[in-house]
Amino acid sequence: RAVHAARAAFESGPWPKMKPADRQRVLFKLGDLVLEHADELARLETLDNGKPIFESRQVDIPMVANCFHYFAGWATKLAGETLPVNPAYFNYPLREPLGVVAAIIPWNFPMIMVGWKAAPALAAGNCVIVKPAELTPLTAIRLGELALAAGVPPGVLNILPGKGSIAGEALVRHPGVDKVSFTGSTEIGRHIMKAGADTMKKLTLELGGKSPNIVFADADLDVAVKGVAAGIFYGKGEVCAAGSRLLVEASIADEFVAKLAERAQKLKPGDPLDPKTRLGALVSEKQMNTVLGYVETGTKEGAKLVAGGKRAPINGKGWFVEPTVLDQVDNAMRVAQEEIFGPVLSVIRFTDVDDAVKQANDSPFGLAAGVWTRDVKKAHAVARRLQAGTVWINMYNFYDAGMPFGGYKASGFGRDLGPECLRDYTQVKSVWVSIE
């Protein structure tokens, strides 16, 4: 029924035919409504996901609003240019919407992901079905209501909660869905590629990561310690781009790890609804057990636990895990190669620039990377050599609707955000006109 509603809205509703300036106004209004309902949405997100209300309110809300405000502007700017093929013809490309886009999204950023995927798809004139993760459907449902209030016509943005294996799978196989934009695990990403082949689904896949955060001896070490800690502990480490591998230059490694361990020990999990809390609860008991299992795997493989490593229940309850640092990790170990998706940092030493780049790229993933150095030449040279869709220099975990985000290698293809993602939500028609 969701696909039929979206198809009908696309084929005979007002949305794709609307004046772009009117679509722009509606989407901009939705951005405003997100800000007007910030406290309510932030609370829902925290109740659903366990992330601190501080993060929901100060990061997720502004990012969702940023997406609708930014992509609203693109509705009026999806232009083509005339192409000088032959004086006898008039040639121009028309950039058209794809039709019905299914956005299948994960539980770690349930509200942000609606903004990342629905905002550009809608701006380009598509109709959208969002399938939130079963664990975290609340904010997507509320955003659906706000979209109607902003003037998005019925059927244009559909929110379809349900299990991945049922609702998600049905969307991937449905002939009425033109494109699937997926964020989640590499395993399900691969499955969606195969399952979508019969109906020739267009795909954007934003998958996992094992992103290296590279600290050179010439970095501002105090700034780097803060950045590296935030890079892995922000969002409880349940972040696709989490800086989950610290690559640190051997000459400063002991000093750096000591500072980092001290910082990790000071960061205590707390009640996610308390505005002072900076580390929340993992999303589920299952995720907590996966994460604690990896800590055990790491120590069995020979890593040295220098901070955290245990469950930290509050009043005997909750899926809280201490910020954890595993030192003496070898890049070949499972805790360096596999996505843990929790507040667990694996520390690996390197000897020089070539060694740093080699170990950083020795991963099936290529989502993001961080570089910490005061040497501007080294920073840019290393950025070019890293196989990663995003490189942060002397910063980590920053996002904006205007900057493309996505993966190299097994971290996926296609891009969310930025002007780049609009290519993935449109198709080009080449028009030839005889004028002689």
Active site residues: 206, 240
| Residue 168 touches ligand NAP, criterion: CB under 6 A | yes
| Residue 299 touches ligand NAP, criterion: CB under 6 A | no
| Residue 172 touches ligand NAP, criterion: CB under 6 A | yes
Taking the complex as a whole, the smallest distance from the CB of residue 29 to ligand NAP amounts, in Å, to 27
Q: For residues 207 and 214, which CB has a smaller minimum distance to ligand NAP in the complex?
A: 207
Q: For residues 58 and 289, which CB has a smaller minimum distance to ligand NAP in the complex?
A: 289
411: how many CB neighbours lie within 10 A of its CB? Answer: 29
Taking the complex as a whole, the smallest distance from the CB of residue 343 to ligand NAP amounts, in Å, to 13
The piece of 167-175, 242-250, 303-311, 417-425 that touches ligand NAP (CB under 6 A) is 167-175
The piece of 39-47, 187-195, 352-360, 420-428 that touches ligand NAP (CB under 6 A) is 187-195
| Residue 183 touches ligand NAP, criterion: CB under 6 A | yes
Question: Could you give the C-alpha distances from 93 to 96, 126, 158, 427, 428, in angstroms and in order?
Answer: 9, 18, 30, 10, 6
The piece of 56-64, 165-173, 223-231, 369-377 that touches ligand NAP (CB under 6 A) is 165-173
Cα(389)–Cα(407) distance, integer angstroms: 5
Q: For residues 26 and 282, which CB has a smaller minimum distance to ligand NAP in the complex?
A: 282
Taking the complex as a whole, the smallest distance from the CB of residue 421 to ligand NAP amounts, in Å, to 16
Taking the complex as a whole, the smallest distance from the CB of residue 262 to ligand NAP amounts, in Å, to 28
Query: How many residues in the shown chain lie near ligand NAP by CB under 6 A?
Result: 26
Burial class (CB in 10 A: 0-12, 13-18, 19+), 120: buried
| Residue 45 touches ligand NAP, criterion: CB under 6 A | no
Q: For residues 72 and 160, which CB has a smaller minimum distance to ligand NAP in the complex?
A: 160
Cβ atoms 213, 245 nearer than 8 A = yes
Using CB under 6 A as the binding rule, the residues of this chain from 330 to 389 that contact ligand NAP are: 339, 341
The piece of 182-190, 243-251, 307-315, 350-358 that touches ligand NAP (CB under 6 A) is 182-190
From 110, 208, 308, 343, residue interacting with ligand NAP (rule: CB under 6 A): 208
Taking the complex as a whole, the smallest distance from the CB of residue 185 to ligand NAP amounts, in Å, to 3
| Residue 134 touches ligand NAP, criterion: CB under 6 A | yes
| Residue 169 touches ligand NAP, criterion: CB under 6 A | yes
Question: Could you give the C-alpha distances from 145 to 81, 111, 153, in angstroms and in order?
Answer: 37, 13, 11
Buried b (16+ CB within 10 A) or exposed e, 212-249: bbbbbeebebeebbebbbbbbbbbbbbbbbbbbbbbbb
- Residue 165's contacts (CB-CB under 8 Å, 6 or more residues apart) are none
φ/ψ of 104, rounded to 5, equals -105, 115
Q: For residues 164 and 231, which CB has a smaller minimum distance to ligand NAP in the complex?
A: 164
Cα(18)–Cα(24) distance, integer angstroms: 10
Show the tokens assigned to 176.
């009425």
From 207, 264, 368, 369, residue interacting with ligand NAP (rule: CB under 6 A): 207
Could you say which DSSP state residue 199 is in? T
Q: For residues 183 and 390, which CB has a smaller minimum distance to ligand NAP in the complex?
A: 183
Residue by residue, DSSP assigns 313-367 as -BTTBS--B--EEEES--TTSHHHHS---SSEEEEEEESSHHHHHHHHH-SSEES
Cβ atoms 102, 131 nearer than 8 A = yes
Cβ atoms 422, 70 nearer than 8 A = no
Q: For residues 181 and 328, which CB has a smaller minimum distance to ligand NAP in the complex?
A: 181
Which residue from 154, 147, 116, 157 is spatially nearest to 424, judged by alpha carbons?
Answer: 116
Interhelix angle 61-74/112-123, rounded to 10 degrees, is: 10
| Residue 252 touches ligand NAP, criterion: CB under 6 A | no
Which residue from 401, 328, 362 is spatially nearest to 65, judged by alpha carbons?
Answer: 401
The piece of 53-61, 205-213, 265-273, 302-310 that touches ligand NAP (CB under 6 A) is 205-213
Using CB under 6 A as the binding rule, the residues of this chain from 74 to 133 that contact ligand NAP are: 104-108, 131, 133
The piece of 21-29, 166-174, 222-230, 321-329 that touches ligand NAP (CB under 6 A) is 166-174
Q: For residues 168 and 414, which CB has a smaller minimum distance to ligand NAP in the complex?
A: 168
Cβ atoms 279, 269 nearer than 8 A = yes
Cα(136)–Cα(47) distance, integer angstroms: 9
**Can you give the binding site for ligand NAP, defined by CB under 6 A?**
104-108, 131, 133-134, 163-165, 168-169, 172, 183-185, 188, 191-192, 206-208, 240, 339, 341
